[in-house]
Amino acid sequence: MKEDEITGWFRQQRQLSSAAIPIGIGDDMAQIALDHGSSVLITTDMLLDGTHFDLATATLEQAGYKSMATSLSDCAAMATIPLAAVVAVGLPHGWGGRQLQELHAGVVRAADKYRCPLVGGDITSWKTDGRFAVCVSMLSKPGDKPPVRRSGAQAGDVICVTGSLGGSGRRRHLEFEPRVNEALQIVQIADLHAMMDISDGLSTDLNRICHQSRVGALVEASAVPMSQDAKAQTDPLDAALNEGEDFELLFTLSPEQWDTLHRRWDHPVPITRVGRITNTGRMEIKMPDGQVLDLKPGGYDHLAD
Amino acid sequence: MKEDEITGWFRQQRQLSSAAIPIGIGDDMAQIALDHGSSVLITTDMLLDGTHFDLATATLEQAGYKSMATSLSDCAAMATIPLAAVVAVGLPHGWGGRQLQELHAGVVRAADKYRCPLVGGDITSWKTDGRFAVCVSMLSKPGDKPPVRRSGAQAGDVICVTGSLGGSGRRRHLEFEPRVNEALQIVQIADLHAMMDISDGLSTDLNRICHQSRVGALVEASAVPMSQDAKAQTDPLDAALNEGEDFELLFTLSPEQWDTLHRRWDHPVPITRVGRITNTGRMEIKMPDGQVLDLKPGGYDHLAD
């Protein structure tokens, strides 16, 4: 069973009331309805030493920053406004105040920058062996527009990404800027049909949008924006398609809305059209030589062998 | 640095806006203000294999139940109504759908019982070595009464606990009932000054109420309700005072309100008066022979050597 299969299984186990839980399992955040027409969204992200960062080379300050930035990227993925975060840690035996203060420095660097205060947490420790784990849970609220979901892509939509992709594992994954402000600006300019952040690689995350929207996609290989770190690799296209932790935005919108967005977007972070949504029901990629191949979800899967 | 010292240090690092964050770091849950006078509360709890349960003897179903029940107990600790939960996991290498389904069974057992749906989560895995970690984050909302904090205890207050204490590590810590309904019923009957749940032992948690309320306390040793599991130990009083994970409620209220509560309480879970809040600024315990001793916080500390 892969990650998406078990997530689908979880979703099927309980029918959530759509009045109480407008958005449930399977999106970047869940939305919970409150009194007086208010609502709040929540995301949780567990980061593990040796998987999401390696404390042999990364600092705890960087781990703290990344843990917050990962959840902030989920807020961005739905174009919502971060409100507050809580941070729980599992500490290796013998760690104490010094390590927590270093971690805290990274947490508040992200918290201050994106105005998402740290409001609580939990400190626990492994009794014997056990490596460092940190879990950030974050609340956000809708902006002027409703949260953008994964399930609204339509055949004919333009597929866009922010920034450039691939090679994030070299260094960028520790210091990326979550696209919180960009997402809120994009939805001010254009109506989006679907959005998420690219955490497991473009091919895997686009497949999630296709699956949840019951559509297909055709990606233009020559249009995919490759990062400098991707270009330094032997197969830059593979890096841009399949490596994880870009934390860029992936979204779809009608060609007319794309024209508007393209014309009016003057932010330093570029937006690139990388393909279009199709009604084929499957993902394809058009190679620079004109050949059209199947595009397999090739990104990171925590449950893969 | 002990847990409470580093928590205090975290609290001092950033001044939270009391309009945006009515309750911040240091209580059982943080409260976040939303539009239209709504608010939501959040708690997070990390549970580690080998610390909070031992998968050599406990099942993953029990681990799932306990992780939810721990956060539900935080909702109870402030007399708030559970709304929704997200669950993040760090899986040992090689785990997959089967283990997640077993965990899920325990999560939804608690979720269904306390009407707190699972709305999302995060699945991650250790690349090499690494033990099972699970982190539940839970939202609640205030009931008819405002959330009860730790900081409102007043000299002269009666100190009460629900249920019986000590020896939870033998078995009860895996199957305890969070006092969600009891807490909501208690605040319907009486006005409380302070409340929390006993997760780290009565002596340690009462010290937190005293510290945050700037008061002292005198506990009557003969009044402390001891569980059957505590009585089976060589020092039952020590077990009842200092062992953790009772997950009972600890609260204070005026003698008049106590009279009302005592008279009207007909719930099967008992409430016991165990002492009173003093203006001595320190915690004391009156032994059965009449001697008054200092009561030291002797419960579990994740940062102790």
Residues A232, A225: Cα–Cα separation, whole Å: 14
CA distance A20 to chain B (A): 9
pLDDT in tens, B48-70: 999 999 999 999 999 999 999 99
The mean pLDDT value of chain A amounts to 95
Closest Cβ–Cβ partner in B3, B50, B135 for A44: B135
From the list B46, B124, B126, which residue is nearest A124 (CB)?
B46
User: With b meaning 16 or more CB within 10 Å and e meaning fewer, what string describes B60-85?
Assistant: bbbbbbbbbbbbbbbbbbbbbbbbbb
Domains and CATH numbers, chain A: 11-142 (3.30.1330.10), 158-294 (3.90.650.10)
pLDDT (average), residues B25-54: 95
Judge residue B168's burial from the number of C-beta atoms within 10 Å of its C-beta, 0-12 exposed, 13-18 middle, 19 or more buried: buried
Name the strand (E) or helix (H) holding A7.
helix A3-13
Q: Which residue of B has its CA nearest to A23?
A: B119
pLDDT of B93 over the 80 cut: yes
Residue A304: per-residue pLDDT: 67
Residues of A in contact with B38 (CB under 8 A): 34-36, 38
A32, A87, A90 member nearest B83 (Cβ): A32
Q: Contact A119/B32, CB-based, under 8 Å? A: yes
Task: Identify the band that residue A89 occupies on the pLDDT scale cut at 50, 70 and 90.
Answer: very high
What DSSP string describes A210-254?
HHHHT-EEEEEGGGSPBPHHHHTSS-HHHHHHH------EEEEE-
Asked if A46 lies within 8 A of B89 by C-beta distance, the reply is: yes
Helix-then-strand count for chain A, H and E: 9, 12
Tell me if B130 and A131 make a contact (CB, 8 A cut-off): yes
Residues of B in contact with A142 (CB under 8 A): none
By three-state DSSP, how is residue A66 classified? Answer: helix
The token pair that represents B231 in the structure block: 């009585």
Kindly give the pairing relationship between strand A249-253 and strand A194-197.
antiparallel
Residue A161 structure tokens? 């990404």
How does residue B304 score in pLDDT terms, banded at 50, 70 and 90? low
- How confident is the model at residue A302, as a pLDDT? 73
Q: Residue B166 pLDDT more than 90? A: yes
Q: How does pLDDT run across B186-199, given as a tens digit for each residue?
A: 999 999 999 999 99
Q: Is the pLDDT of residue B26 over 90?
A: yes
Residues counted in chain A: 305
The interface predicted TM-score (ipTM) is: 0.96
Identify from A40, A43, A67 which residue to disrupt to test chain B contact, counting B C-beta atoms within 10 A and taking the largest count.
A40
pLDDT of residue B35: 87
Segment A262-280, tens digit of pLDDT: 999 999 999 999 999 999 9
- Nearest by CB to residue B6, choosing from A97, A126, A303, is A97
* Model pLDDT, residue A3: 87
State whether B96 and A46 contact (CB < 8 Å).
Answer: no
pLDDT band at B1 (very low <50, low <70, confident <90, very high): confident
Torsion of CA B64, B67, B69, B73, to 10 degrees: -170
Write the pLDDT tens digit of every residue in B98-155.
999 999 999 999 999 999 999 999 999 998 789 999 999 999 999 999 999 999 999 9
Portion of chain B with pLDDT greater than 90, in percent = 92
How far apart are alpha carbons B136 and B100 in whole angstroms? 14
Place of tokens 């309100």: B257
Distance (Å, whole) CA B128 – CA A51: 9
Q: How far does B135 lie from chain A, in Å, by closest CA?
A: 7
